[in-house]
Each structure stands twice: as structure tokens, then as C-alpha cells.
Structure 1
């Protein structure tokens, strides 16, 4: 599980859009979450996590404030979530997470990315059953037993845990995200999270061995990341 997570992060890092694209995507996510659950991060835990992640990714304060002000005003675009599923080179599985105010435009753009890279956009449910929807919390530590005890005392359903290089990574169902985070912060004073995310993790990986397949996958990720409506990309591909 950890390997799949690491692979996704590295792949996105290689194909990340320009900073302005990253800012735009965070701005849209913050606006939507704040509009749905309120603009107070103390009362809207999903918003608080999102703002924390935006700051870690060096999103300027004015971008965050602008999104919150827009949500506070009550007007603006009406975005809805959309998930697209498909197959990349080597028949690897791909999930594309989007926020859109025009579903026809978004699916057209996503389909174009798959078509131009000789990949295939699938039907809803075609690959999502092969992914686990997980909360991921990574922080400095080495005492796995103490961490597990704190989570069990808070009745958190832990699905996996890894320790490496002085860090502990906890995996839990996405519905347990805030509960797990709060339990850890209560148990370990001053705890800071290097990673605090909810992702779709593939249950099995697909190794791309040919240069053609690797180039094709990198192009697909690059094109999808360039789509304004696309927020996250999850896939089962791995390569050297």
C-alpha cells in the first residue's frame, strides 16, 4: 500500500503543472469545501486539512483568502465532483478526480487526453473497485505500538501502518480521516503531519517495462494535469 502511495506522488511530481495551475486547483477545492461546510476551519475539519496542505505546497495566502472570501459571499460557480475511470498503457488502471461546472466540457477534455495517448476511457465502475479509498497520515515517529494503541483507544479502524526512515504512515478508511488525525494529535502533543491526504490507492500495481509505455503514461498524466477541472489522478502504474 505504501509503495502505491509513493509511486503516485512521484509520478505526479514529474508531471506537475505550472505553479499557477496548482494554485488554481487548490483555490477551487477550498472554495467548494468552504461553500459546502462553512468558511471557519475550526468548524470545518475538511477545510482545515485542505488549507494545511495548500500551505505545505506553498500556495500564497492571498489565493487561500480569495477562495474563502468567494465562498463567504455565497455567489460564484456551482461546482460538482466527477470521477472518470479508464485504462492506460499496459492496461494499468486510472482514476481521474475532477470538480466541474460543466460536465460535458470536462468529460470531453478528459476523453481527449485518453484518446490522444492511445488510452481508453472506461465506464463508471470499470476500475474503481480495484482501488481502496484511504486516509493517509504520515508523521515523524518510530513507536508503532504507541501509535496503534492511541488509534485503537479512539476506535479508529486502521487498515495498515508502515514505519520507515524515522516516519510512521497510517492508512485508514477515508471516513476515519478526521477521527484518526484527532486521536493522534490528542495522544502526541505537537504532532505535525508531513502527509494528511485522502487518496484512492490501487490494490495491485502494473509494471510498465517498455520505454513506449512509460512515455505514453507520462504524456497521459501531463495532459490530465493540464486540465483545469482535474484535481487528482490515481493510477496503478509503476516504472523505474
Structure 2
């Protein structure tokens, strides 16, 4: 009985930790978007997209509103987006996207995790040949004909459209066509579940043992536990 209770409590605490991390992430994204384009989501497309994603992640409405209000005030420090690139064990490329108000602290943290895993932090741009930045939109399939939508969206930068494991449609565009595609989907009142800019590897490392792959995943977990980290990408198959 005691063990079962402790196990349930542990799972609940992990869920709360994950939710807290997710809300912190969206709070920082909101801050950056407001600083760049203003607090009105009607005219700030990036803010509109982040609010939509935050709602899908069950971020409370009042917390979203407070994040916008705080970002609009002088109380909020300036967060900046920084990308760190390096190699983990076994030659796996790892790219870490951060939002930070203290780059000195953040780069020290990133370097520490690379070093402790026998990896190395590289120079900015050193992984440009491995990762391509793409726009990824996940949309609900209800009321949507995939073939018709594909034809409609080609002129707005559609590169690929496919079904994911959850049965939703995934639309991929180039980085430069992200805003154009966002507007095209909004104009057609397509139900966008999530929209993001992602880093897609052009080549992968696929010769790792299960134990080696676990080392890479452990390093990725360590990065993702840090508040400054927004997203982590790798080229492990």
C-alpha cells in the first residue's frame, strides 16, 4: 500500500514538473514575441502562434495573460534566443535552442553537459550542414481533404504533407515560408494543433548500440531539464 502510494505520488510529481517546465518555456517564448512584435496577438503573428500552442498544452488562460502583461512591463528582463551546437558521444550532432536572460550562465551550463558526457561544444554555425530549419504545422484532419489541401497550399510554400502516428496531418514548409503558411492556414480556418520551427537532420548516425543510444538520450534529458533550454535536436537515427 505504501509503495503504491509513493509510486503514484512520484508519477504525479513528474507530471507537475513537466507541466511547470512547459509553462516556463511558453512564458519565455511569449516574452520574446511581445518584445519583438507587441502585445496584441491580432497583429503579432508569432505571439498568436505561441498562444495557440500554449493553450494546446493546457497552459491556463490567466497564466498566458499574465505572461503577456509582464512582458509588456519594464519589470521583465530581456530574454534572447541563443543556439548552441556541438557533438555528443559517438559523433552525434546535438543542437540546443535556448531562451535566456544570462547567456554567460547558459553557455556554461551547455558546455558542462557536453563535457560531462565526453562531448564538445562547437562554434556557431558548425552544424549548418547537418540541420535544416523547417516550419512544421500539425493540423486536425476533421473536415479536411488532404489531396485538395495539398493542391491549395503548394503556392504558399508546402514542401510535404503526411499523416502522423496520432492521425493528424503534418505540413512542412521551408523556414522562409513559415509566416506565409501560417496565414494561409488561418485564412482557411484550418484547425492548427501546433506550429513550430524545427531542425531536421539531413544525415543521421545509425550505427549505435542500445547502450550508446541510451547515453545520447540521457544527455538530451539533461539538457531538457534546464529552464533555459527551449528545444533539443539531434541526428541519431
For 1:176-215, list aligned pairs within 5 A.
176-187=177-188, 189=189, 191-207=190-206, 209-215=208-214
Structure index of larger Rg: 2
For 1:7-86, list aligned pairs within 5 A.
18-86=18-86
Query: In the alignment, what sits opposite 1:227?
Result: 226
Q: Residue 76 and residue 223 in structure 1: after superposition, are their counterparts in 2 closer, same or farther (change >3 A)?
A: same
- Write out per-residue CA displacement over residues 59-105 of structure 1, whole angstroms, 9 at most, x where no aligned residue: 22232122111122134212221110011233121110111221111
**Pair 1:150-2:152 in alignment:** yes
Alignment length, in residue pairs? Answer: 220
The answer for unaligned runs of 5 or more in structure 1 is: 1-15
Shift of 1:211: 3.0
Shift of 1:164: 5.3
Query: In the alignment, what sits opposite 2:138?
Result: 138
Shift of 1:42: 0.8
For the residues of structure 2 that align with 1:233 and 1:134, how far apart are their CA atoms?
A: 15
Query: In the alignment, what sits opposite 2:102?
Result: 102
The answer for unaligned runs of 5 or more in structure 2 is: 1-15
Q: Residue 132 and residue 225 in structure 1: after superposition, are their counterparts in 2 closer, same or farther (change >3 A)?
A: same
Aligned residue for 2:129, secondary structure, equals helix
TM-score by length of 1: 0.83
Asked if the contact 1:140–1:168 (Cα under 8 Å) also holds between the matched residues in 2, the reply is: yes
TM-score by length of 2: 0.84
**RMSD between aligned alpha carbons?**
2.2
Q: Residue 192 and residue 208 in structure 1: after superposition, are their counterparts in 2 closer, same or farther (change >3 A)?
A: farther
Asked if the contact 1:150–1:183 (Cα under 8 Å) also holds between the matched residues in 2, the reply is: no
Query: In the alignment, what sits opposite 2:160?
Result: 160
For the residues of structure 2 that align with 1:235 and 1:63, how far apart are their CA atoms?
A: 31
Query: In the alignment, what sits opposite 1:12?
Result: none
Shift of 1:208: 5.7
- Higher relative contact order structure (alpha carbons within 8 Å, sequence separation ≥ 6): 1
